[in-house]
Structure 1
Amino acid sequence: MKANALNHNAFSTNELKPYEKRAPDFSGRFIRWFLENIYRLEAIDADDACVDAKHDKGVDAIYVDDVAETVYIVQSKTKTKDNAEFGDTDLKEFYGTLQQFDSKQKIEDLYSETTNEKLKQTITRTSLATKVDSGYEVLGIFISNASANDDAKAILGKLQKIELFDAEAIANNYVDLDVDGGIKGKFYFDISDSDVIEYDAGGAAARLFLAPALNLLKMSGISDGSLFEQNVRLALGNTKVNKGLRKSIKNKEEHKNFPLYHNGINVLCREIVSETEQRIDIEDYVVVNGAQSLTSLMAEKPKITDDLKILVKLIETKGDAALSQRITTNSNNQNAIKARDLKSNHNIQQRLKAEVSTVSKDTIAYEIKQGETHGGKEVINNESAGLILLAMDLAQPWSCHQKYKIMDDLHSDIFGRPDVTGAKVVGYWRAFQAVEKALDAIDDKQFAYYNLTKYFLVYGVVSLIRTESEGVIMLNNMKGILSADKITDFTNIIDQLARSLALDLNAEIVDDKEFDYKNELKSPTWCRKISAKLVAQYKKDVLRKKADAIADLCSSLSVAK
C-alpha cells in the first residue's frame, strides 16, 4: 500500500466500502479498518472498542489488552483533501486527552462528566478504572489518513506514550494479501556473531545460524506481506502468540534468551551467492515460516537491541518449485495449529463436506481446512456453519463471539449429533443469509451490523418458528426442502419473520438510551428475555393475519419429502 491510497475519496471507495453499514461516517469506518488491519483485532473487538460519538472527550476508541496489561486510547483525525498534512496542535490536544485516563479518580470523574453513553458503557464494560489503578499502562494511538508534517514529528519526541500512525506509517504496516509475493533481489544475513551449521541434501543446501533481529528486519516485503507468500498462516493478527512475542520483545533483559524459546524462521532462497565469516549473501528469497515473528518484531522495532537474535534456517532451492512446496508444507505442519486444523480430518467434518457437495449438486464447498481452493464455488466455512448452528440449533447466540470454541470445546455439541447433516448446514446457511438481509430493517445501523446482532435475530426467528409444530417439522426437514427445490420458499418465510421481528426490536430499544448492545448481546438473560418478548408480540399483534400465522407459513414446507 502507498500512502496516497488513504486519500479520502479513493479510500472510501475501495478499502472502506465493507464498513459502510457498521459506521455512519468516514472517521468511524477508518477507525474500524485501522483496528482490524493494522492492530489486527477481530471485527467484533473493533466494534466493541469504538466510542466515537458527540461529547467523546477526544476519544474515538478504547482497546484493553489484558495480556499485555495495556490500555490503548485511540484518536482519529481524518482529512478530505488529497495528500493533506497535519501539525503538532492535534497531537498536543491528544496528549491532554490522555491525562484523563492516568488514574482511577480521573477516569471516574470522566465517567461522571461525559454525556457520551458509548464512552460510559466502555469504561464500565472494560472495568477501565480498576485496571488502570492496578497498574495497566495507558498508551495513546493517534491515527490519520493524512501525513504528519515536520512540526508534528518534532513534538512527538517530547510527548510520552503516544504512538503515531499517519498515512506513511499505516501504509508501511499494512499487509496487502493481494500483492504478488516473493522477493526478487539480494539480501545478506549478518553471521558475524554466530556459528553456522551446514547441511547439504542432494540439490539443496541448508544453513542454520543466529541472525540479529535488526538485520532480519531489513528484508524487503515485511510490510506488504510479499515476503510471506508461501507462509501458510501469514500474520494472524493480534493473537495470543503475537501478544506473547511482543511482550518478550519489550523486555530487554530477555533479549539474550530469545533463541531459547523461539522456534526461529525458515527462509528459502534461489541461490546462496557467497559466504564469508561475516555474512551470507542470497538472491531471490521468501519466508515460509515466521510471518508472525517478523511482523511482531517490526511492530516493536524501536525496542529491539543488538542482543535479540533469531534462529534462521536458510535453504537454497536453486529454483526447484516442487521442493519449495514440500518444505513449505512440512515446516508449517510442525507449527502450533488451531483446533480447526486438528478437526479438519475428523470424520464428522469429512462427512459434512461430502454431504454438502451432494445436496448442493457440487455448487457449494464446505471448507474444513485453511488454504483450500474451490474453483469458484460458493463456500461455507465450517467455523461459520458452527456459529449458525450454535445460534439456531443450540439456541446460544450470546456465545457466538467465542469463535475459538466452535472447533474445540463446543465441537461435539454443535456437530456431533445425528441430525446435523449437510442438508441442515446448507438450509440453515440460506436462512442465515436471509436474516442478514433483514438487518437493514433495524433503525440503529451500528447495532444492526454489530457482529452478534445477526445471530440474535436468527435465534429470535427460530424461537418464533418453534412455537408451532409445523415450524419444528420444517426446521428438521432441510433435506426434504432441498430435494423438493423449495429452498426459496423457505428463505422467504425466514425473511418475512426476520423483518417483522426487526421492526419490533426497534420499538424495544428506541427509548432505552443506556442500552449497551455490546454487553447485552453477550448476556443469556437479555437475549432470552427480549426474544421471548418479540415472539409474544408477534403472536398477539392484531395486525398479523391470525395467531397461527407461522403455522400457515410453514405447513406446506414442513411435510416436504
Structure 2
Amino acid sequence: MKVDDLNHNAFSEHQLKPYEKRAPDFSGRFVRWFLEHIYRLEEIDADDACVDAKHDKGVDAIYVDDVSEAVFIIQAKTKTKDKAEFGDTELKEFYGTLQQFDSKKKIDEVFSETKNDKLKQTIVRTGLAAKVDSGYDVRGVFISNARANDDAKAILAKLPKIELFDAVAIANDYVDLDVDGGIKGSYYFDVSDSDVIEYDAGGAAARLFLAPALNLLKMDGIADGRLFEQNVRLALGNTKVNKGLRESIKDKGEHKNFPLYHNGINVLCRKVVSETEERIEVEDYVVVNGAQSLTSLMAEKSKITDDLKILVKLIETKGDTALSQRITTNSNNQNAIKARDLKSNHNIQQRLKAEVSAVSNDTVAYEIKQGEVNKGKAVLTNESAGLILLAMDLAQPWSCHQKYKVMDELHSDIFGRPDVTGARILGYWECFKSIESALDAIQDKHFAYYNLTKYFLAYAVVSLIRTEQAGVAMLKNMEGILTSGRLAELVEIFGSLAKSLAFDLNAEIVGEDAETFDYKNELKSPTWCKKISARLVAQYSKDVMRKKAEPIGALCLGLSVAE
C-alpha cells in the first residue's frame, strides 16, 4: 500500500466499499477497516468496539484486550484533502480525552454524563470501569488517513501512552501481494564484518550474511512502503511481537545477541551487479519478509548501535517473476495451525466436499483447506457452512460470533450427523444468501448490518417454517429439491419470509429502551434471540392478510415432496 492510497476518494473507492452498510460515513468505515486490517480483529469484534456517534466524548472505539490486560481508546481524525497533514493540536485534544478513562471514578462520570447510548453500552458490556480499577493499562490509539507533520511527531514524546497510526504508519503495516512493486535502482549491502554463504539453486542464487542494521535502513522505500510492495499483507499492528522487537532494539546491551533470536529478512533482487569482500551491490530490490522488522528499526533508529546486525537472505531472481511470487508466498507462510487445518483431512469434511461438488455439478467448491485453487467456481468454506448450520439447523444463532468453535469443540455437533449432507449444506447456503437483501428492510442500519443479525434472521425464518409439518418436510428434502431443479423456488420462499420478518423486527426493536438496548450484547443472548424469534413467528401467524397470501404450509408443500 502507498501512502496516497489512503487519500479520501481513493480509499473510499478501493478499500471502504465493503463497509458502506456497516457505517454511514468515511470516519466510521475507516475505524472498522483499521481494527480489522491493522489490529487484526474479527468483523464482529470490530463492530463491538465502535462507539462513534454524537456525544462520544471524543472516542470512536474502545477495544479491551483481556490477554494483555489493556484498554485501547481509539480516535480517528480523517481528512478529505489529498496529501493532507495534521499537527499537534489534535493529539493534545486526544490526550485530554484519554484522561477521562484512566480511573474507575472518571469512567463512572463519563457513563453518567454521556448521551451516547453506544458508549454507555460498551462501558457496561466490557466491564470497563472494573477492569481499569483492577489495573488494566489504558492506552490511546490515534489514527488518521493523513500524514503527521513535524509538530505532531514532536509532541508524541511528551504525551505518554499514545500510539500514532498516521497514513505513513498504516501504509507500512498494510502491504499487499497483488502489487508489482519494489525499488527500481541500486543499493549495496555492507558485508565487511560477515562471512557470506552462497547457494546456487539453478534458477536463482542466494547469499546469506549479517548486515549492519544502520546499513539496511539506507534502503529506499521503508517510510512509504514501496520497499515491501511484493510482500504479503502485514497487518500486525500493535502486537506483542512488534513491541518485543522494539524493546530489544532499545536495549543496547542486547544488540550483539540480536541475530540469535531474530529470524532475519528476505530480500529479492533482479541482479547482483558486483560483489567484493566489503560489499554486495544489487539492482532492483524488494523486501518480501521483514517489513515489521525494518519499520521497527526505523522507528528506533536513534537507539541503534554498530553492534546490531540482521541476518539477510538475498536472492537474485534474474527477473523470474513467477519464482519471485513463489518465494514471497512461501517465505510468509508462517500462520499458526488452526483447528480448521487439523480437520481438513477428517473423513466427514472429505465426504461433504465430494457431495457438494456432485450435487452442484462441480460449480461450487466446498473449501476445506486454506489455499485451495478453485478457479471459476463459487467457493463455500467449511467454516462458513458450519456457522450457517449452527444458526439454521441447530438453532443457535447466538453462538455464531464464536467462529473458532465451529471446527473445534462444536465440529461433531454441527457436522457429525446423518442429516448433514452436501445437498443440505448447499441448499441452506443458497437460502442464507437471500437474507442479505432482506436486511435492507430493517430501519436501524447499524443493527441490520451487524454480522450476527443475518444469522438471527435466518434462525427466525427457519423457526417460522418449522411451525408447519410441510415446512419441516421441506427442510429435510434438500436433495430432492436440488435434483428436481427447484432450488430457486426454495430461495424465493426463504427470501420472501425473511423480508416479512425483517419488517416485523422493526417494531420489536422500536419497543426496546434505546438506552439499555444493546444489540451487540442481545444477539449473543439465547434468551433474547428465542424471545424475539417467538414474537416474530406469533406476529406472522396473527396477520390475517399475510396468512391468506403466504400460508406457510402451502408455500412449503410442493417442495416437501419434490423428487
Q: TM-score, normalised by structure 1?
A: 0.86
1:217–1:294 Cα contact (<8 Å) kept: no
**Residue 549 (str. 1) matches residue 545 (str. 2):** no
3-state DSSP of counterpart to 2:64: strand
**2:421 aligned with 1:425:** no
TM-fit CA distance, 1:124: 1.9
1:464-483, aligned counterparts within 5 Å?
464-483=464-483
Where do 1:143-542 residues align within 5 Å?
143-181=143-181, 184-191=184-191, 196-200=196-200, 205-211=205-211, 224=225, 227=228, 229=230, 234-235=233-234, 237=236, 243-252=239-248, 259-276=259-276, 279-285=279-285, 290=289, 294-295=291-292, 298=295, 301-303=298-300, 305-306=303-304, 310-318=310-318, 336-510=336-510, 511-513=512-514, 514-542=516-544
CA distance in 1, matches of 2:57, 2:70: 20
From the superposition, tell whether residues 81 and 435 of structure 1 become closer, same or farther in structure 2 (CA, over 3 Å). Answer: same
Larger mean Cα displacement after TM superposition, 375-384 or 150-159: 150-159
Measured against aligned partners, the alpha-carbon deviations of 1:152-178 in whole angstroms (never above 9, x if no partner) come to 444344333333334444444442454
Relative to structure 1, the CA distance from residue 494 to residue 211 in structure 2 (aligned partners, 3 Å threshold; closer, same or farther) is farther
- Could you say if the C-alpha distance between residues 334 and 21 of structure 1 is closer, same or farther in structure 2, counting changes exceeding 3 Å? closer
Q: Retained in 2: the 8 A contact 1:139–1:162?
A: yes
Structure 1, 350-359 or 150-159: larger mean CA deviation = 150-159
Residues 1:548 and 1:4: Cα distance change in structure 2 (over 3 Å): closer
Change (3 A) 1:335 1:6: closer
Q: Secondary structure at the match of 2:547?
A: coil
- Unaligned 5+ runs, structure 2: none
Q: What amino acid sits opposite 2:561 in the alignment?
A: V
1:20 aligned residue: 20
Deviations 1:180-214 (A, max 9, x none): 25655444445566555444566654444445566
Q: CA deviation at 1:297?
A: 5.8
Determine the C-alpha separation between the residues in 1 that align with 2:453 and 2:377. 27
Change (3 A) 1:329 1:116: closer
Counterpart in the other structure of 1:71: 71
By how many angstroms is 1:51 displaced? 0.4
Deviation at 1:284, TM superposition (A): 4.5
Residue 39 of structure 1, CA deviation:
3.1
Question: What's the CA shift for 1:372?
Answer: 3.4
Shifted more, 307-316 versus 439-448: the winner is 307-316
> What secondary structure sits across from 1:369 in the alignment?
coil
What is the rounded CA distance, in whole Å, between the counterparts of 1:66 and 1:188 in structure 2? 45
Instruction: Give the count of matched residue pairs.
Output: 553
For the 8 Å contact 1:340–1:407, the answer to whether it is kept is yes
Measure the CA separation in 2 of the matches of 1:433 and 1:312: 48
CA deviations over 1:13-60 (Å, ceiling 9, x no partner): 443222111112222122222322333332222211110111111111
Q: 1:287 to 1:4 in 2, by over 3 A?
A: closer
**Contact 1:398/1:527 (CA < 8 Å) preserved in 2?**
yes
SS across alignment from 2:366: strand
- The answer on whether the counterparts of 2:175 and 2:231 sit within 8 Å (CA) in structure 1 is no
Deviates more, 1:205-214 or 1:54-63: 205-214
CA distance in 1, matches of 2:394, 2:217: 47
CA distance in 1 between partners of 2:446 and 2:37 (Å):
20
After TM superposition, the structure 1 stretch with the greater mean CA deviation from structure 2, 44-53 or 539-548, is 539-548
Aligned to 1:93: 93
Q: CA deviation at 1:519?
A: 1.6
Letter of the structure 1 residue corresponding to residue 522 of structure 2:
E
Instruction: Provide the C-alpha distance between the structure 2 equivalents of 1:174 and 1:335, rounded to a whole number of angstroms.
Output: 17
Q: Identify if the C-alpha distance between structure 1 residues 411 and 124 changes in structure 2 by more than 3 Å, giving closer, same or farther.
A: same
Deviates further, 132-141 or 50-59 = 132-141
Query: Displacement of 1:392 after TM fit?
Result: 1.6
In 2 relative to 1, CA 121–549 (structure 1 residues): closer, same or farther, beyond 3 Å?
same
Identify the residue that residue 131 of structure 2 maps to in structure 1. Answer: 131
Q: For 1:326 and 1:90, locate their aligned partners in 2 and report how far apart those are by CA, in whole Å.
A: 44
Q: Is the 2:427–2:478 contact (alpha carbons within 8 Å) kept by the matching residues of 1?
A: yes
RMSD over aligned CA atoms reads 3.4
SS of residue paired to 1:142: strand
- 49 and 279 in structure 1: CA distance in 2 versus 1, 3 angstrom threshold: farther
